[in-house]
Amino acid sequence: MYYRTKIFFPKKSYSMFGEDLKIKDFFKRKKKGIYVDIGCYHPLDGSNTYLLYKKGWSGINVDVNKTSIELFNIARKKDINLNIAISNSSKKVKVFFRKKINMLNTIVKKNALSNFKKGFNSAYIKSSSLNTLLENLNIKIKKIDFLNLDIEGNELKALKTFNFNKYKPSLICVEIHNQKATKNIEDYYKINKLYKLLIKKGYRLFWKNKFSFIFKLLRE
């Protein structure tokens, strides 16, 4: 009797829009590197850093979802995985969630109201600025090669207090959504405060697809 057997091949891309392929190609000559993934969600599914991890890189993964970090501790043992919120200061904040693990869980209530139409729960979690988090690690980070931020509307706050001069990420990936007021503007992202901040800090747009944007540091 003949049985059909499915053959599973490794995925070429784990990102939502193929970001990881562009990132891996950018760093193709760099065998070892450091990434910081804020709002990491899942060690494989939708991950912009898993291909780098497979290549031999390591880094820091941070998420407000405790379950997410538990998964990272299983699948990404070489990394430092932290259940904490990233904002502009160190304090306790509310995290708004529909499920224990969800891409849209956030500490921005306005985003929760928009994303979770059927209601949501909340709980308190410790928050930290990105600088404080990096300075308090048990390893010393001198340079970040790739910085990924997906923290559902809190990216600007996190980056406003970030020490770009010290850590100098070569690539930064963020989300910039097209707001209703600018839906008819082709280059809507250029009037976004997050875009303007990164341009001011010496970055230029390297790649974009839908609401995912990668910026490259012009001079290191």
For the chain, the structural domain boundaries read 19-81+133-217
Spans of the chain below 70 pLDDT: 1-10, 107, 112, 180-183, 220
- Burial class for 84, CB neighbours closer than 10 Å (0-12, 13-18, 19+): middle
Tell me the CA distances in angstroms from 158 to 107, 149, 154, 194, one per residue in order: 12, 9, 6, 10
Of the candidates 127, 111, 142, 126, the one whose C-alpha atom is nearest the C-alpha of residue 36 is 142
- Per-residue pLDDT, 122: 82
| pLDDT confidence of residue 220 | 65
pLDDT single digits (tens) 48-97: 999 999 999 999 999 999 999 999 999 999 999 999 999 888 888 888 87
Quote the CA–CA distance of 75 and 186 in Å, as a whole number: 40
CATH code reported for the domain at 19-81+133-217: 3.40.50.150
**Other CB atoms within 10 Å distance of the CB of residue 6:** 4
Dig out the tokens for 64 from the structure: 């407000």
SS3 151: coil
- Residues 49/78, Cβ–Cβ less than 8 Å: no
Check residue 214 and report its DSSP letter. E
Q: Is residue 96 a contact partner of residue 151, using CB atoms and an 8 Å limit?
A: no
State residue 78's pLDDT score: 96
Question: Which DSSP helix (H) or strand (E) runs through 188?
Answer: none
Two tokens at 149? 């931020």
Q: What is the pLDDT of residue 7?
A: 47
pTM of the model: 0.89
